[in-house]
Amino acid sequence: MKFRLYFNSTNYENPIFKTGLFIEALRLAPTTKPIIIKQLVSVVVFATITVLLLTANAYSQAIGINDDGIAPPAGINVEIDFDKAGDATTKTWLLIDGDITTANQTANLTGLDINLSDGAFNSTATNIGLNVDLSGLTGGTNYAGIFMGGNVGVGTTSPSRLFHLFSSGRTTGYIESTGSTVNDYAEILLKSNSNAAAAGMFKNSTGQTLYAGAGSLNIGTTVSENFGILTNNLLRVFVKGNDGNVGIGTTSPSALLDVNGDVEWAGGKGVLSNWTSTKNSDVDALLPGTIFGTYIQSQSSGHITIGIRSNDSNDSFSVLSDSDFNGTQDKVVLFARANGRVGIGTSTPGYQFEVSTNSAAKPTSSSWTVSSDRRLKRDVQPFTEGLDVIGKIDPVWFKYNGLAGISMEEGGVGAIAQNIQDVAPYMIKPFQYTDTITGETTTYLGVDYGAMDFVLINAIKEQQQMIMELKEKNNLLRSDNTMIKGENAAINNRLSTIESILNDTSKK
């Protein structure tokens, strides 16, 4: 198809381009400036392209492409204006189609260049570089713009991504929805691999109560895909898509919140609540990648439990006192091992309950209460040992030497376990101590002095029996002494009588 150029007058005003069918295709508004017409070779079959180069001068210029023959309105340089009846034909009002037909293209191609400048003047008007208005269309799906085959830059001539927004000052993107119904919200969606699943961010309207509620800002995925937050190119927060578990320092959170690393709580309070009839609330401190560690549990029954989930008998948890705030002078206040042993002041309790120093007190009694109801006992046998055992125990003064984790400051009066083992082996209680540095386990001997009370009772009873026997002997001796005294008195009386008789005889 070729265009033909017509002029309405001899002064070459109002040039008109018409097709081969004499249908007007292009009309130039009245102008007094020169027109240069350049014929190019055909680059499309049955078509010849004609390019108009308008010289720049101080006169107004306008080009109108329309079907009414009316020049463009004032202030519009180029106008495309067609009024067509609606049909099924696809129409494109302006097509810029440049086909590179030779190799080694080196020039920069610009399909559409909009360049506005006010020279040295300070403009106070509202300026628009590109305005796309589809408000006059009703129905269908309308797009304000479709960009294909290249990156789009706003504020930059070298966009590095499909969409690149740049500003040397404040950069703002503004997405606004003024609706207030349940389906109105401002939204940004991200998709990949043509997947229907999407991640994004949306702001609810005042009438939309989805997710976080009316007026809320929501960020995340719309399906069971993972969600992460990064800083310094490192994953910091991980949200597991299928169950919503949140991991900090881990990509495999096993609970609603799973933290792998240090947690600092400065001020305020934390509330952990799950008061149902069937579930408990736990705070766990676990070894990485395991289910083992310590926990605090708020039970559905209202009880509080502090414990350990262990994989061997050496696991434990402790309560420490840090007197210098840096961990170099920590002292064990309470220590509990997985084997059920509890230590106060010691991390190596050899018994179910052990105190590290000779420092324990009760207000009115030094004894422990022991369950002793006859109904609780079986295999009851007499215990008869007493004075014989007491006589073979040798009390000593002593000080500890620091082995078995016992403070060297401790000492006092006691006995040697090996000595007691020889005379009362039932008082001996062996215990094991595991060195926290070498891991070596040593068996030592302890003494259960509880039986000593009953040895002393038997010894007292034996001594009491001896006293009673001595009393009986003493009473017999006293009775014999009284009899002897009586006999002696009788003898004395007889002697006195004899002396009197003898005295009388001598006088005669």
DSSP 8-class letter at 215: T
Quote the number of domains for the chain: 2
Bridge-based pairing of strands 342-344 and 353-355 is parallel
Q: Which residues contact 22 (CB under 8 A, 6 or more apart)?
A: 4
pLDDT at position 305, please? 77
Q: What is the mean pLDDT of the chain?
A: 77
Give per-residue pLDDT as tens, 442-466.
999 999 998 999 999 999 999 999 9
Structure token pair of residue 281: 């609330």
pLDDT of residue 481 exceeding 50 = yes
232 — alpha (psi -120 to 50), left (phi > 0) or beta? left
The larger pLDDT score, comparing residue 285 to residue 478, is at 478
Is 31 contained in some domain? yes
pLDDT at position 424, please? 95
pLDDT band at 54 (very low <50, low <70, confident <90, very high): very low
**CA torsion through residues 102, 104, 106, 109, sign:** positive
pLDDT at position 313, please? 65
Is 285 contained in some domain? no
Rounded Cα distance between 22 and 37, Å, is 19
What single-letter amino acid sits at 83? D
- Give the mean model confidence (pLDDT) for residues 210-231: 84
pLDDT band at 38 (very low <50, low <70, confident <90, very high): very low
| Among 30, 60, 84, residue at a domain's last position | 84
Rounded Cα distance between 453 and 424, Å, is 13
| Among 84, 108, 132, residue at a domain's last position | 84
Is 430 contained in some domain? yes
Is 123 contained in some domain? no
Rounded Cα distance between 254 and 287, Å, is 13
Is 137 contained in some domain? no
Structure token pair of residue 168: 């040397």
- Give the mean model confidence (pLDDT) for residues 400-411: 86
pLDDT at position 36, please? 35
Least confident interval from 82-96, 172-186, 338-352: 82-96
Least confident interval from 55-64, 238-247, 429-438: 55-64
- Give the mean model confidence (pLDDT) for residues 385-413: 90
Is 154 contained in some domain? no
In this prediction, what percent of the chain has a pLDDT beyond 90? 19
Is 386 contained in some domain? yes
Q: Where are the beta strands (DSSP E) in 127-213?
A: 152-154, 163-165, 185-190, 199-204
Least confident interval from 138-147, 273-282, 397-406: 273-282
On whether the CB atoms of residues 1 and 19 are closer than 8 A, the answer is yes
Residue 407 belongs to domain spanning: 381-508
Give me the CATH number covering residue 389. 1.10.10
Rounded Cα distance between 508 and 491, Å, is 26
DSSP string, 425-438: GGGEEEEEEE-TTT
| Among 84, 107, 122, residue at a domain's last position | 84
Rounded Cα distance between 297 and 306, Å, is 6
Is 169 contained in some domain? no
- Give the mean model confidence (pLDDT) for residues 178-193: 77
